[in-house]
Homo-oligomer: A and B are copies of this chain.
Amino acid sequence: MKKLILLLLVITSTTSFAQTDSTFIREIYDEALEKGEAYENLRSLCKDIGARITGSAEAEMAVKWGEKLLKSYNFDNVYLQEIKVPHWERGTTEAAWIENEAGEILKLDILALGGSIGTNGLITGEVIEVLDVKALQQLSENEVKGKIVFLSQAFDKKNIQTFKSYGACYPIRGLGTNEAGKLNAKAVVIRSLATPEDDFPHTGTMHYDEDVNKIPGAAMSTNNATLLSEWLKKGKVTLKMEMDCKTYPDVTSYNVIAEMNGKDDKVITWGGHLDSWDVGEGAHDDGAGIAHSIEALRILKELGYQPNHKLRCVLFMNEENGNMGGKSYAKIVSEKKEEHICAIESDRGGFLPVGFDVNGTEDQLKMVQNYETLLNSFELYRFRKGFGGVDIGPLKEYYPNMIQLGMAISSQRYFNYHHTNNDVFEAVNQRELELGSAAMATMVYLMDKTLK
């Protein structure tokens, strides 16, 4: 009975809280939907800067772009945070062909995996199809040596959340080349980590152990992968490939930061990542998160909100291949003995926002779920335990008690665009982007009001 009374008390207090806040949240949404600047900011980032892989001239331009834009909004503080980042370039040559015993030749749609070495000229090898990294690890060196390993694991379409399928396939991209190198394979090609059957190869990061025999790795389109499997069922297939991608020495880059001062110095931080892969325009990944994050701070300032805590929007550098932005940020702010109480990330595209995932305690989840009725009226429904984000992740080590939130965004279309030439501004819908911005501003506001 005590529990039931407590339940009623919670319901009552939630309701009165909701009444106080719903007006302000309505103003946030009105601003985002009627006078929003997120869509134009995303257009500018995609078209005026373009794809912006860490270490590139475009990434440097993106830093300038972010700093100038944030300064134009007259936030209390705008500054750059210097960090060291890796520098990998795709180069100018990237091609592959398969040939079967009948002499049929097909040019593949490929992209080198990020971090791969080049081929040092045209290489040729017999293709051996292996389902996944586990299966690869069970092969002997004799079976693999000198061959080109084709890792063909496909997305499990049955998962309603496509990130689950991505997670399951991640090893073929992240670890497959390294494992095949140990067995002295000549190179690795993988089926792209993608939902649809189409012609777009998806790049993404991969990893070499320090002392491993480094071999090249590339991704082919899902259509190519399906066809290659069919060819292999009929007989021997040879693959030729050439790539001149290369890793250069680390360079200096920056996280770009804007703040509104609060009544105390405790920090609520949020952001997305400013870098992208070097193909397409990095519109969904993660131009959208950048647009969401900047817009959230702009809206709160525009509405004259007086924060309780320091509100800090961070445009992180180098999420895609090293996460040096996130790691360095966490180290720097902890060394300064700043107190971080909350971090929020948007890195799941500019699609329809559906809620927030909470990386925190049961109590922290409940704190967020208390707003459920209120947020339902803005079409946000999903509040569960889950992942916050790659950029904000390293903060947990230094601030284990902080709450981290990842904006939950419908994932159905994400892996049609992720890390491809297809990830361009035109693939983002204005309203969906604006709703994401409003959702981000809303959660920042609620956390600022609630957290002591």
A contact set with B: CB distance below 8 Å: 4, 29-30, 33-34, 157-158, 160-162, 195-196, 352, 354, 378-379, 381-382, 410, 412-413, 416, 429-432, 435
Partner of A381, one of B33, B196, B382: B382
CB distance from A235 to the nearest CB of B (A): 29
Count of identical protomers in the assembly: 2
**Chain B residue nearest in CB terms to A195:** B431
Q: List 28 A-B contacts (CB under 8 A).
A: A4-B4, A29-B158, A29-B160, A30-B158, A33-B157, A33-B158, A33-B160, A34-B157, A160-B378, A160-B379, A160-B435, A161-B379, A162-B431, A195-B431, A196-B430, A352-B352, A354-B379, A354-B381, A379-B382, A381-B382, A410-B410, A412-B429, A412-B431, A412-B432, A413-B429, A413-B431, A413-B432, A416-B429
Residues of B within 8 A of A30 (CB): 158
CB distance from A11 to the nearest CB of B (A): 12
How far is A10 from B428 in the complex, measured between Cα atoms in Å? 43
**Chain B residue nearest in CB terms to A377:** B160
Residues of B within 8 A of A412 (CB): 352, 429, 431-432, 435
Give the interface centre of A196, A382, A413 by most chain B CB atoms within 10 Å. Answer: A413
How far is A352 from B196 in the complex, measured between Cα atoms in Å? 16
How far is A435 from B195 in the complex, measured between Cα atoms in Å? 14
Give the interface centre of A157, A196, A381, A382 by most chain B CB atoms within 10 Å. Answer: A157
Q: A29-B158, A195-B431, A379-B382 are in contact. List 10 more A-B contacts (CB 8 A).
A: A33-B157, A33-B160, A34-B158, A160-B378, A161-B379, A352-B410, A381-B381, A412-B431, A412-B432, A413-B432
